[in-house]
Each structure stands twice: as C-alpha cells, then as structure tokens.
Amino acid sequence: MERQDYTMPTLLQYENVAWYENGKVRILDRRIYPTRVEFVECENHQAVAQAITDMVTQSAGPYTAAGMGMALAAEESKNLARVEQIAYLKEASHTIANARPTTANRMSLITEKCVAVAELALEMGQDPTEAIKQNTIDSLNRRYYTMDQVAKYLIEKIPDNGTVLTQCFGETIIGMLLREAIEQKKTLRFFCAETRPYLQGARLTASCCAEMGFDTTVVSDNMIAYLMEHEKIDLFTSAADTIAQDGYIANKVGTYQIAILAQRFGVPYFVTGIPDTDKISHESIKIEMRDPEQVMELNGIKHTLDGVKAIYPSFDITPPELIGAVVTDRGIFSPYDLKRYLIEQPENNFY
C-alpha cells in the first residue's frame, strides 16, 4: 500500500511520529513543538515506554512508538536463544503497553501483535527487528487509511465555509479531515481549545491546521461558552482515547464540559474513532492521574505559591446523551448503537 502520510503536516509524517533506525527509536518531542523541533532518542525499549509515559508523544503517537519500541526490543534480544528472545519480547510488550493506563488495552493489541510477528519471523528464518518495523509501518498505513474513511463521513456533516471546534489533538483524524477538505475544495475555519496543561490543542492541532492553510484560532479552555454564544460553531469534534460499547467515551480532560456546553448551545458533537472490543462498559475505563505539578506550572515556570495543591486527571468520561454521533470508518453510529458496529464486523484491524 502507498504510504498514507502523503501531504500530511509535519507532525503526522511517519518519521516524525516515531521511527526505529540503527538501534534507536527517534520520537519528535511534542511537549515543546512548535517552539522547538527536537527529537528524543531512545536507546532501549524501557526508554520508549518512559517517553510515552512522559508524553513526549501522545494521542495516537504512542501506538507508533510502541511498535517501533518493540522493534528495538527485538534488536536488544537478537543474541538470545529463540525461547529467551520471545520471553524478552513478551516482557517488553507488557512494559510498553502499560506506559499509560487508560489506553493499555489498545496498546496491548499493538505490542502483542509485534510478539506474534517476531515469532513468525524467527520460524521463517527472518529478522524479527525488521519484521516488527515493517508491521508497524503497515499498521500506520491501515490506521491512516481507516481514519481517512472516517474523515470522509465527518466532512459530510460540515458545511462549506463551516466552523469547527476541536479539543486536544486528534492526531490522524485531524490530518485526514484537513486533507479531505483540501481535496474537496471545502473552506473550513477552526477554533482550537488550547487544552491545558500541555496545550496540545494550541501547539499541535492548531499547528496542523495552520500548516495546511486553514483559518485557525486558538481559544483558552474557559472561553468556550463565550465562543459558542458569539461565533457560529457548526460542529464540535474530538477523537477518543476509549469508546466503550455503552456509548461513553474517554478523552482529554475538558471534553466533558465542552460537550455540556455544546448541548446547551445546540452545537452537534461528533466523536471520531473505533469502538473498543474489550470495553463493554465505561465502568472499566481507568482514568490516569498525572503529576499535579504540571498543572501548577507552564513551560517550566511555576505560577502558584508553595503549599498550593492541584489535581491532574488526564481524561474525563462523556456520557452518550451528550454525543450526537460516533463517526467510524463504517459510517455514522448513534452512541447507543455501537454494538452493531462490532456485530457487523467483529475484527478490529485498526491497529
């Protein structure tokens, strides 16, 4: 398959997401982009897991980093006996997949597939490192192609000269929506919620939109009601880190409150992504609590007095009554009808 990152903005080009080469995994540091364009180089798979934990990459970026990290693990263990190498890869799979708890289920799909690819390569006398790297590239192609199908359904719901509000950084769907708009010659305007405390909306989503030539405006997270009252917002959209089969979704903290405001102002909220096969209910979603120090500082500058406390839940959970639809590669589904997506085609080849 042709590489699916053609015409994509800088952040979404494969080599800039995560890339294994010469015994290292190179990851574009999204914590400081676009102020500085720097890469974190990981010399072992534990460093890749740590980079994921530290949010050097986030959104769908960790999926690619996980695959490339498993290629690195295969290289680390290349001199072990076959049984020992597979055991090493299984341990690496667990380490990388659990770098962030909320998405451990999705990450496990990736890393466990890498172990299976390595086993097959060893049986056939092939290099498991290269086999895993190629599998990761194939997975990228599938994901980009899948999200391109999602974008084709989503853009139908946005009028020409329409205005879209985004939350956090939806990674692939953002790039595909922008590319689809260009190919369809559709003019869109974007408002990007900044997404405290890491500012993914301001730094990442807005960068992609601006780089692709779209009218782009950043608003702070507490301006959404003002925005919806004074600007015509045609659609609020976000990706989701988890889409449970009962219609609840987990996404970057702040999504829930924007969904409440969208309902109040009559703005449709469309979630993009693929329902999770192993998340029957939202009750199984684990919310990651991160270091609260990150809330009390910005770009390394502390802005609270000693003794002030903070909390930092990475995600919140939005209920189905606030979601207009879930846009998938197989069409647009009611959040109350997600089981039909899985019944019609049980296999999820997204990863």
pLDDT tens digits, the chain, 351 residues: what are they? 789 999 999 999 999 999 999 999 999 999 999 999 999 999 999 999 999 999 999 999 999 999 999 999 999 999 999 999 999 999 999 999 999 998 999 999 999 999 999 999 999 999 999 999 999 999 999 999 999 999 999 999 999 999 999 999 999 999 999 999 999 999 999 999 999 998 999 999 999 999 999 999 999 999 999 999 999 999 999 999 999 999 999 999 999 999 999 999 999 999 999 999 889 999 999 999 999 999 999 888 999 999 999 999 999 999 999 999 999 999 999 999 999 998 876 665 555
Look at residue 75 and tell me if it is in a domain. Answer: yes
Q: How many residues does the chain have?
A: 351
- Predicted pLDDT of residue 66: 98
Look at residue 337 and tell me if it is in a domain. Answer: yes
Rounded CA gap, 156 and 241, in Å? 23
- Chosen domain end from 122, 144, 166: 144
Q: Which amino acid is at 257?
A: Q
- Predicted pLDDT of residue 351: 54
Look at residue 1 and tell me if it is in a domain. Answer: no
Residues 335, 201, single domain; the answer is yes
**DSSP letter, residue 9:** -
Rounded CA gap, 124 and 244, in Å? 38
- Predicted pLDDT of residue 199: 94
Residues 108, 162, single domain; the answer is no
Model pTM?
A: 0.92
- Chosen domain end from 85, 117, 144: 144
Q: Please provide the DSSP assignment of 186-227 as one string.
A: --EEEEEE--TTTTHIIIIIHHHHHHTT-EEEEE-GGGHHHH
Of 341, 308, 348, the residue nearest 326 (C-alpha) = 341
Residues 118, 207, single domain; the answer is no
Concerning whether 241 is annotated as a catalytic residue, the answer is yes
With tokens 């000269």, the residue in question is 161
Does the CA dihedral 276-280-281-284 come out positive or negative?
negative
Of 207, 205, 157, 206, the residue nearest 181 (C-alpha) = 157
Output the CA–CA distances (angstroms, integers) from residue 315 to 81, 157, 264, in the order listed. 42, 26, 22
- Chosen domain end from 144, 165, 198: 144
Of 329, 164, 28, the residue nearest 342 (C-alpha) = 329
Range of the domain at 124: 10-144
Residues 121, 196, single domain; the answer is no
Residues 85, 115, single domain; the answer is yes
Residues 244, 303, single domain; the answer is yes
Q: Which amino acid is at 130?
A: E
Query: Which listed residue (148, 241, 276, 329) is catalytic?
Result: 241
Look at residue 189 and tell me if it is in a domain. Answer: yes
CATH number of the domain encompassing residue 178: 3.40.50.10470
Phi, psi of 297 (to 5 degrees): -145, 165
Does the CA dihedral 258-263-265-266 come out positive or negative?
positive
- Domain total for the chain? 2
**DSSP letter, residue 289:** B
Residues 98, 225, single domain; the answer is no
Look at residue 349 and tell me if it is in a domain. Answer: no
CATH number of the domain encompassing residue 55: 1.20.120.420
Residues 277, 237, single domain; the answer is yes
Residues 70, 213, single domain; the answer is no
Does the CA dihedral 275-142-68-62 come out positive or negative?
negative
Residues 40, 123, single domain; the answer is yes
Look at residue 350 and tell me if it is in a domain. Answer: no
Residues 171, 300, single domain; the answer is yes
* Consecutive H or E run containing 139: helix 128-155
- CB contact set of 100 (below 8 Å; sequence gap of 6+): 52, 53, 62, 107, 288, 314
CB-CB neighbours of 283 under 10 Å: 10
Look at residue 149 and tell me if it is in a domain. Answer: no
- Predicted pLDDT of residue 342: 86
Residues 236, 322, single domain; the answer is yes
* 53, burial (CB in 10 Å: exposed 0-12, middle 13-18, buried 19+): middle
**DSSP letter, residue 285:** P
Look at residue 320 and tell me if it is in a domain. Answer: yes
